[in-house]
Every structure is written in C-alpha cells, then in structure tokens.
C-alpha cells in the first residue's frame, strides 16, 4: 500500500468492484480498495450449485442478525452478508433481476431524483452485461458481467410456467425485457458455468492495472475528516492501525448494514445516537441509518409424487460426480443456481405493477445448523416487493468490530402482512393448477392443516424471513430525510460518497445485485465528470393500467394511500 491514493473505496462488494474497475480504466487515477474479508478463493464460491453452502459459511460472512423483531414473534432473523472479495455477489443465489422499470420512474417522478428514470438507467444496465440473449433494446452482450439463461431441464419448471398461463398470472420470456411481469425462467450472473461475481467481472481486470491496490482482512475504523472534507481512512490490518490519505474522494461501498455504521463511527449521523456512544459529532445527519427496507419472504413446500426432484444431489457419491462434472466440463447440476424460475405478479387490484416476486426450485431443503437436508419435493417462495414498514440501523457500541443493530421492523405496518397473505394465496393458486396434478403431493410447509386466515397469519409471523435485500439506509434525496444527493455525494461534506444499495430511496421490485452494479457504474461517471450515457426509451408491455382503490394505511405517524407506498 501507498500512503496516498486518488480514490479509496471501502468495500469490495457489488458496487466497490464496479467502481474500482471504472475509476481506474483510464490508467490516470490510483485506487485503493479496502475489504474486511478474504480473497474469494473457495471453490464452492465459484460453483453455482455451491450457493447453499457458501451463503452461510462463517469464514466469508458477516453473520448479521436482526434485532428481535416484534411482529415476527421476537425472532432474530438471520441476515447473511458477504465478507469476502465480491461481497454478497460472491455468496448470493445469482438471480439477475433489475427491478421493474416503474421503480426507477418513481424515483425520478415522485421522489425528486431527476435523472434516475428507467430511460436513464437502461443504457448502464445494457453496457454492464454480457447476456446470452444477445444485444437488443433491452439487453447488452459486450459488458463485463456474464448473464446466462436458465438451462436445467425438469418437468416441474414446465409445470410452473404452464400454471402461470392457466392461473391468469401470466408468463414472460424475459422479466428484464419487453414484458417485466408473469412467470418465467430466470437469468443468472454466471458465465461458462461459473459464478460471475462482481469480483470476477470487475475487480479482476482492475487489479491487473499498476495503480490499483486491494487490501483484504482490513477492518475500517472511520473516515477521516478535515473540517467538512473527507481526507482519508483509518483501518486495522495485520494487528496495526493504518491511515491512508485520499486526494480526491473516499467512497463507502460497505452495504446497507455496514455503510451507516461506518458513517456513525466517523462522527457522521444522528447526534443523539453518537452521544449515546461517546462518539464526537463531526457532521450531524439525522437520516443516517434510517429508512431501512428489505424484501420479506415466505416459502411453501410440497412433497413431489414423482422422483424427478433434486433431492439425491446431497448424497456423497452424487456430490462427487456433480463436482467432477463441473470441474471438467463446467456444466450439469453444479453449474445451476437452482432457483432457475420465478416471476413478478400482482397480489391485488390496488397496485399498478407487480408487488410480489416468486422464486421456484424443484427441490425442498431445510437446515440443521449449517447442514442442508434435502427431500423429494419442490419449493415456491414469494417476496413482498414494496413494503410500507421502515427500519433503522443503530450502533451497539463505538467499537468497529461490533456488529451494528439492525432493526427492520418487519410487518410493523398491517399493509405488509396483508400483502404477504395475498402472496400466500397466489402461491396456492399456482400449485393448484392442473399442470401440477401429476407432481403435487401433500403440502409440507405450512402443514396441510393450516387453512384459516388466522392460522396463515400465525405461520407467517413464525416463519417469514429476509430475502437478503437490505437497502435504503443512506437514501438519495434532496431533503433533510436523505443522506446523499442524486450523485451519491454526502450532503454537506466534500470528498465523500456512499455508493451501494443503501442509497436507494425506495427498494426496487426485484433482486438487488444488478441494480447496485448499475448504480455504481453511474456513480463512476459522476465522480469522473463524464457525460452520462444517453437515455434510451425501450418498449414495454404492462398489464392494463389499474385505477387503484384508495385504502388508507398508517405508516409511522403519517397516513398514506396505496399509491404513495406501493
């Protein structure tokens, strides 16, 4: 390491890897990437089917838990986040989903973020991916991120798509393309049968350049400020404290849990919270850590009456064969992320674009500790995409090694419970279709006897969990309830940005890896002063515009209509 760099990026996750690549590609600027975890050398990181082992691996995971969730029976919900080069893109399920175009139009039109419409974002999505689908007005074929189509063949996938048609929930050939709604086979961030993490796609090319350095196993203590300017960082590495200066900018890309913590440890945040932990206040920002959002999910499993599921893959001999096949050919079950089908669907008539997301797998799995137990069945899970509940990140202490306190406040608003019950009903509707008759056995989870609304509600409270999409805790905006502006610069400070999922003003309706990489690519142009890519208007098919029935829903101290929160 040098003592000084043009740019210091904190976090080698989805955003940090993109920034390292883009900020260094001219060869003009020096860049240091500071990562708390190790290199991504574990073989199972790169084998897509290894996802169910790596995402709970404590050696590459922050192992976060929520604080006791009042509406989830006081449970502490597990929240794995990647602590490894590549961040959560090295441990996630690799689903490539951008969110719905109307999410970004809402940012632009309703939330005051001019320049963040889907037309503004689409060229960055296209430029960032190398899709097997080829180039089109929706997709790109020459970017750094490998994006592959689903390849596993199984009658249950066919039944799922047929059920989409017969149930009226619809189907789509590409949820990131012309029709962003319905049931579909999903794309994954894989290339040539291997995981294409942000580290593989973006950081590897950057590290080949002479002015880019990466330090791993480094725990950030704080961003250093000189009056109202960020001038460097202090972190622990190999038992020593290092201070490195930034001549241009410090960029936080630590994620929606860690970025607010680092800001507060640096004296940037709510005055009372800092006072509580004897942290000197350097820059008061009440919004730091607030507005926390996530996708809460439930999943239902059924026994499959035919032995066509992947329940045998966990047997030692089969694991050996699958691994050998993957090592030699990079195909077969080892090349699959397993969640190869899903959908974006409407849960009710009061929303004007899909508010529920499916993930479907021809396997039924449960955990005993970190051990995976497989059975002959299939799983359909549903996420609530645009929750009304809001949480916050607080500090447990002023020690940077302590985990922050994540209060998600899941189901704090009754609106969210209603939508998850609707999601449960939609799942039952799909699996009740004739296409599943030949495969559908007894429902295992919830038990077949769970039928009444109160029983379903109790089951949701006892079993609902995160789909690992924390976001919005350092939101973009123009008012006092925001942390960064539309170019991700921290309000009132020079030389400091936050670039990761925490800056989303409202969570998008889908998985977060692809949007986070898109946002980082846009941030790189803001940082370098480049002209943004020219907006692109693509054609989309949406279900006929709905006229929402106004229901008043209380969110915190305010009353909002469905249009305001959906």
- The answer on pLDDT for 249 being more than 70 is yes
In a domain, residue 502? The reply is: yes
CA 262 to chain centre: 20
Q: How many CB atoms lie within 10 A of CB 556?
A: 12
Of 113-127, 271-285, 359-373, 426-440, minimum mean pLDDT range: 359-373
Determine the pLDDT at residue 335. 97
In a domain, residue 114? The reply is: no
Model confidence pLDDT, tens digit, residues 207-244: 999 999 999 999 999 999 999 999 999 999 999 999 99
Model confidence pLDDT, tens digit, residues 117-141: 999 999 999 999 999 999 999 999 9
> Which distant-in-sequence residues (6+ apart) come within 8 Å of 246 by Cβ?
4, 5, 6, 7, 8, 230, 231, 232, 233, 495
Determine the pLDDT at residue 550. 41
Determine the pLDDT at residue 544. 55
Determine the pLDDT at residue 203. 98
The total domain count for the chain is 2
CA nearest neighbour of 382 among 320, 354, 424: 424
Is 232 in the same domain as 346? no
Q: Are strands 194-195 and 212-215 parallel, antiparallel or unpaired?
A: unpaired
Is 6 in the same domain as 74? yes
Is 225 in the same domain as 167? no
CATH of the domain at 417: 3.30.410.40
Q: What is the mean pLDDT of residues 433-437?
A: 98
Determine the pLDDT at residue 368. 73
Is 45 in the same domain as 158? no
DSSP-assigned states of every residue in 195-238: E--HIIIIIHHHHTSTTEEEE-SEEEEEEEEETTEEEEEEEEET
Is 221 in the same domain as 335? no
Q: What is the mean pLDDT of residues 451-478?
A: 97
Is 363 in the same domain as 230? no
CA nearest neighbour of 263 among 273, 252, 275: 252
Q: Are strands 78-79 and 182-185 parallel, antiparallel or unpaired?
A: unpaired
C-alpha atoms less than 13 angstroms from C-alpha of 516 in its C-beta half-sphere: 33
Q: How many CB atoms lie within 10 A of CB 73?
A: 12
Determine the pLDDT at residue 372. 78
Is 204 in the same domain as 243? yes
Is 251 in the same domain as 173? no
- The answer on pLDDT for 556 being more than 70 is no
Q: Which region holds residue 140: left if phi is over 0, alpha if psi is between -120 and 50, else beta?
A: beta
In a domain, residue 444? The reply is: yes
Query: 516-551: buried (b, 16+ CB within 10 Å) or exposed (e) per residue?
Result: bbbbbbbbbebbeeeeebeebeeeeeeeeeeeeeee
Q: Which region holds residue 431: left if phi is over 0, alpha if psi is between -120 and 50, else beta?
A: alpha
Banded model confidence at residue 287, pLDDT cuts 50, 70, 90? very high
Give all strands (DSSP E) within 321-468, no chain letters: 341-345, 356-361, 364-368, 371-375, 377-384, 392-394, 405-407, 440-445, 465-466
Q: Are strands 240-252 and 371-375 parallel, antiparallel or unpaired?
A: unpaired
In a domain, residue 553? The reply is: no
Banded model confidence at residue 1, pLDDT cuts 50, 70, 90? confident
Is 280 in the same domain as 306? no
Model confidence pLDDT, tens digit, residues 40-83: 999 999 999 999 889 989 999 999 999 999 999 999 999 999 99
100 in catalytic set: no
Catalytic residue among 299, 469, 491, 541: 469
CATH of the domain at 227: 3.50.50.60
In a domain, residue 103? The reply is: no
Q: What is the mean pLDDT of residues 95-120?
A: 97
Determine the pLDDT at residue 551. 39
**What would the two tokens of residue 409 be?**
């406040």
Model confidence pLDDT, tens digit, residues 157-211: 999 999 999 999 999 999 999 999 999 999 999 999 999 999 999 999 999 999 9
In a domain, residue 389? The reply is: no
Helix 513-528 and helix 118-128: axis angle, to 10°? 100
Q: Which of 463, 482, 505 is the last residue of a domain?
A: 463
- The answer on pLDDT for 562 being more than 50 is no
Integer Cα distance of 128 and 145 in angstroms: 6
Write down the mean pLDDT value for the chain: 95
% residues pLDDT > 90 (the chain): 92
Is 286 in the same domain as 356? no
In a domain, residue 438? The reply is: yes
- The answer on pLDDT for 566 being more than 90 is no
- The answer on pLDDT for 288 being more than 50 is yes
Is 316 in the same domain as 459? yes
Range of the domain at 313: 151-185+296-384+412-463
In a domain, residue 549? The reply is: no
DSSP-assigned states of every residue in 256-273: HHHHHHHHHHTTEE-HHH
Is 421 in the same domain as 474? no
């Amino acid at each position: 390491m040098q003592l000084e760099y043009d740019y210091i990026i904190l976090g080698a996750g989805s955003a940090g890897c993109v920034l390292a690549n883009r900020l260094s590609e001219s060869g003009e600027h020096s860049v240091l990437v500071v990562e708390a975890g190790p290199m991504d050398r574990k073989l199972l990181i790169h084998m897509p089917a290894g996802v169910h082992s790596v995402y709970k691996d404590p050696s590459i995971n922050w192992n976060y838990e929520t604080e006791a969730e009042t509406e989830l029976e006081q449970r502490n919900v597990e929240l794995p986040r990647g602590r490894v080069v590549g961040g959560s893109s090295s441990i996630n399920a690799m689903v490539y989903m951008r969110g719905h175009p109307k999410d970004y139009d809402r940012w632009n039109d309703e939330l005051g973020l001019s320049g963040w419409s889907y037309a503004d974002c689409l060229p960055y999505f296209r430029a960032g991916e190398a899709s097997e689908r080829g180039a089109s007005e929706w997709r790109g074929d020459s970017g750094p991120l490998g994006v592959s189509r689903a390849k596993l063949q199984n009658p249950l996938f066919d039944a799922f798509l047929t059920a989409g048609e017969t149930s009226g929930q619809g189907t789509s050939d590409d949820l990131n393309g012309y029709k962003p709604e319905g049931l579909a086979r999903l794309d994954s961030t894989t290339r040539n049968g291997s995981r294409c993490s942000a580290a593989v796609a973006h950081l590897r090319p950057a590290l080949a350049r002479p002015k880019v350095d990466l330090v791993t196993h480094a725990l950030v203590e704080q961003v250093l400020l000189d009056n109202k300017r960020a001038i460097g960082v202090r972190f622990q590495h190999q038992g020593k404290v290092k201070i490195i200066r930034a001549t241009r900018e410090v960029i936080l890309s630590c994620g929606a849990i860690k970025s607010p913590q680092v800001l507060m440890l640096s004296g940037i945040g709510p005055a009372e919270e800092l006072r509580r932990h004897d942290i000197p206040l350097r820059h008061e920002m009440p919004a730091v850590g607030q507005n926390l959002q996530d996708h809460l999910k439930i999943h239902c499993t059924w026994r499959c009456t035919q032995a066509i599921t992947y329940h045998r893959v966990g047997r030692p001999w089969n694991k050996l064969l699958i691994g050998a096949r993957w090592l030699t050919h990079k195909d077969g079950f080892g090349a699959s992320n397993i969640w190869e089908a899903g959908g974006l669907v409407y849960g009710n008539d009061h929303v004007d674009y899909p508010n529920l997301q499916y993930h479907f797998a021809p396997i039924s799995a449960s955990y005993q500790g970190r051990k995976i137990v497989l059975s002959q069945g299939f799983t359909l899970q549903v996420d609530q995409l645009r929750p009304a509940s809001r949480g916050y990140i607080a500090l447990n202490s002023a020690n940077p090694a302590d985990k922050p306190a994540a209060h998600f406040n899941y189901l704090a608003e009754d609106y969210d419970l209603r939508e998850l019950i609707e999601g449960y009903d939609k799942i039952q509707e799909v699996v009740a279709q004739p296409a599943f008759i030949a495969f559908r056995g007894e429902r295992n989870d919830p038990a077949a006897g769970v039928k009444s609304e109160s029983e379903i509600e109790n089951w949701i409270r006892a079993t609902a969990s995160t789909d690992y999409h924390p976001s919005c805790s350092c939101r973009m905006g123009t008012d006092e309830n925001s942390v960064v502006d539309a170019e991700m610069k921290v309000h009132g400070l020079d030389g400091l940005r936050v670039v990761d999922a925490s800056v989303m003003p409202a969570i998008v309706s889908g998985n977060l890896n692809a949007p986070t990489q898109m946002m980082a690519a846009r941030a790189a142009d803001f940082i370098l002063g480049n002209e943004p890519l020219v907006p692109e208007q693509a054609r989309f098919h949406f279900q006929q515009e709905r006229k929402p029935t106004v229901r008043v829903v209380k969110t915190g101290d305010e009353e909002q209509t469905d249009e305001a929160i959906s």
